[in-house]
């Protein structure tokens, strides 16, 4: 049996399963959809093949989802939960005690591992710009994760001004996300090499911000500027 019909802005499924058997069928459909989107791409994927992969009827798929876009949105929201869980591991109280380089490396390694192992992650990462709703929710998630990075920076780089912390946090999330997108499309050794290079890129970008300025550095800079006038 099912409860709770879809509401605008709520769950992308038509109905939410209440029984264990129905929940397992929904999970099979989402797993099948992840494989279909990953292998065929969003445009070529079909609801019929998703049903075949899930070993269920097309009617069962439509019972949960009104169309292909709704299936993809459900996957995107599931991956959002996965990314939050990754952040719970990488950016936690222990991370606040670790060298900042180790935290950056661990985060990039975690994203790279998802890219290697999770078909849903690859499909969603490639298709984040396919629909306005997925794009808006992806942007909101990026802002949320940047906010969590900013919390880490308060401890890792307490000398940074609040506005600068917010900007640097956004650069970390968007910079790694962009490299990850390229790695997802290219895959294989090239994709893995890109993710390793992302560590170098982030370390070099962050290095000037992570060390507090030397005592008197600001005063010397101001004096130099005055002397040049």
- pLDDT tens digit sequence for 88-121: 989 888 777 889 999 999 999 999 999 999 999 9
- pLDDT tens digit sequence for 159-202: 999 999 999 999 999 999 999 999 999 999 999 999 999 999 99
Within the chain, all domains assigned CATH 1.10.10.60 are found at 2-66
pLDDT band at residue 8 using 50, 70 and 90 as cut-offs: very low
Structural domain 75-210, CATH architecture: Orthogonal Bundle (1.10)
Predicted confidence at residue 66, as pLDDT, reads 94
Predicted confidence at residue 151, as pLDDT, reads 92
Residue 196: both structure tokens together = 């390793």
Predicted confidence at residue 210, as pLDDT, reads 94
What is the rounded distance in angstroms from the CA atom of residue 57 to the CA atom of residue 41? 22
Strand-pair partners of 15 = 5
pLDDT band at residue 2 using 50, 70 and 90 as cut-offs: very low
3-class SS letters over the chain: CEEEECCCCCCCCCEEECCHHHHHHHHHHHHHHHHHHHHHCCCCCCHHHHHHHHCCCHHHHHHHCCCHHHHHHHHHHHHHHHHHHHHHHHCCCCHHHCCHHHHHHHHHHHHHHHHHHCHHHHHHHHCCCCCHHHHHHHHHHHHHHHHHHHHHHHHHCCCCCHHHHHHHHHHHHHHHHHHHHHHHHHCHHHHHHHHHHHHHHHHHHHHHHHCCCCCCHHHHHHHHHHHHC
**Nearest to 180, CA basis, from 196, 169, 203:** 196
Residue 61: both structure tokens together = 């798929």
Predicted confidence at residue 211, as pLDDT, reads 86
Class of domain 2-66: mainly alpha
Predicted confidence at residue 91, as pLDDT, reads 86
Least confident segment among 85-89, 189-193, 219-223: 219-223
Asked if the model's pLDDT at residue 42 lies above 80, the reply is yes
- pLDDT tens digit sequence for 114-160: 999 999 999 999 887 877 888 898 999 999 999 999 999 999 999 99
The structure tokens 């880490």 sit at: 152
Q: Please say whether the beta carbons of 75 and 37 come within 8 A.
A: yes
Within the chain, all domains assigned CATH 1.10.357 are found at 75-210
Predicted confidence at residue 5, as pLDDT, reads 38
CB atoms within 10 A of CB 153: 22
Asked if the model's pLDDT at residue 12 lies above 50, the reply is yes
């Amino acid at each position: 049996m099912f409860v709770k019909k879809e509401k605008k802005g709520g769950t992308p499924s038509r109905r939410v399963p209440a029984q264990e058997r129905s929940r397992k069928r929904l999970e099979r459909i989402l797993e099948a959809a992840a494989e279909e989107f990953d292998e065929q791409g969003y445009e070529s994927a079909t609801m019929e093949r998703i049903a075949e992969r899930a070993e269920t009827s097309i009617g069962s798929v439509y019972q949960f989802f009104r169309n292909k876009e709704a299936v993809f949105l459900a996957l995107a929201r599931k991956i959002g939960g996965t990314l939050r869980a990754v952040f719970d591991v990488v950016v936690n109280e222990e991370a606040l005690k670790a060298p900042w380089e180790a935290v950056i490396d661990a985060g990039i390694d975690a994203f790279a591992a998802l890219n290697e192992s999770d078909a849903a992650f690859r499909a969603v990462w490639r298709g984040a710009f396919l629909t306005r709703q997925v794009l808006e929710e992806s942007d909101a998630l990026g802002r949320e994760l940047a906010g969590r990075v900013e919390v880490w920076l308060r401890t890792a780089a307490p000398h940074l001004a609040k506005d600068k912390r917010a900007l640097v946090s956004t650069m970390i999330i968007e910079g790694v996300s962009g490299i990850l997108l390229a790695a997802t499309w290219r895959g294989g050794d090239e994709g893995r090499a890109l993710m390793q290079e992302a560590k170098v890129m982030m370390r070099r970008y962050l290095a000037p911000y992570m060390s507090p300025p030397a005592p008197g550095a600001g005063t010397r800079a101001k004096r130099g500027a005055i002397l040049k006038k």
